[in-house]
Amino acid sequence: MAATSPTSPQLPEALTSHAGYLSVVMGQRSQDRFETAIAQLELRPIQYDYLATLSASGPMAQNQLAALLEVDAARIVSLTDELQARSLVERTVDPGDRRRNLLSLTRAGRALNVKAARLAAVVEDELLSRLDPRERVQLRALLRKALDFG
């Protein structure tokens, strides 16, 4: 019978020193926890991204939203259909270009976005619980810089 090691196996430094690996692990943990948290609102993360973007930006064209979220335009159409069926978003004809629609949040969409944003903050607080407030600010700044998010 083989002897057991008194210590638990550790991830190799080749992984724990690799920013890509660390980002993927953090992203997976964040995604899993956030999906669970917003399921009670009958939302998926991409739907929250959609609502949060319109909340911050105001009405915008479908193709602009697709580009901003880095999502295929056809996916935005199906998301819009889903959210419109729940009376969370509305399409209106762009007065500046009647060939395109503008997307905007309804009152219900704004209210749901606020609830989801609160849950997002709780999830982030749990994920970053080992960091002090200054380190959290620094982490966000470094991630925005690495991702070229300005």
Q: Write the pLDDT tens digit of every residue in 10-63.
A: 999 999 889 999 999 999 999 999 999 999 999 999 999 999 999 999 999 999
Residue 116 contacts residue 52 (beta carbons within 8 Å)? yes
Interval 1-7 mean pLDDT = 60
Domains and CATH numbers, the chain: 27-145 (1.10.10.10)
- pLDDT the model gives residue 5: 58
Q: C-alpha dihedral over 113, 115, 120, 121, to 10 degrees?
A: 120
Read off the pTM.
Answer: 0.86
Residue 38 contacts residue 44 (beta carbons within 8 Å)? yes
Q: How many CB atoms lie within 10 A of CB 15?
A: 13
